[in-house]
Amino acid sequence: MSKRSIKIVVTGASGQLGQCLKSISTNWNYSITFLDKQNLDITSVEQVYDVLTTIQPDIIINTAAYTRVDLAEEESDRAYQINAEAVNTITRFCKENETKLLHISTDYVFDGEGLEPYTEEHETNPKTVYGASKLAGENSILDSNLAAFWIIRTSWLYSNYGKNFYKTILDLAAKNANLSVVNDQWGSPTRAEELADFILRYIPQLSSETRGIYHFSNSGSCTWFDFAKAILNKHNSQTEITAVKSSEFPTKARRPSYSVLDNCKISKVFKYKFKNWLDALG
Catalytic residue, candidates 130, 166, 214, 258: 130
Residues 6+ apart with CB under 8 A from 242: 178, 179, 180, 181
Q: Where are the alpha helices (DSSP H) in the chain?
A: 16-24, 45-55, 76-80, 86-97, 129-144, 165-175, 192-202, 224-234, 264-270, 277-281
- 130 classed as catalytic: yes
Determine the residue type at 137.
Answer: G
> Cα separations (Å) of 30 from 94, 104, 183, 195, 207?
19, 20, 42, 17, 17
Closest CA to 281 of 186, 194, 177: 194
User: Which amino acids are annotated catalytic?
Assistant: 130
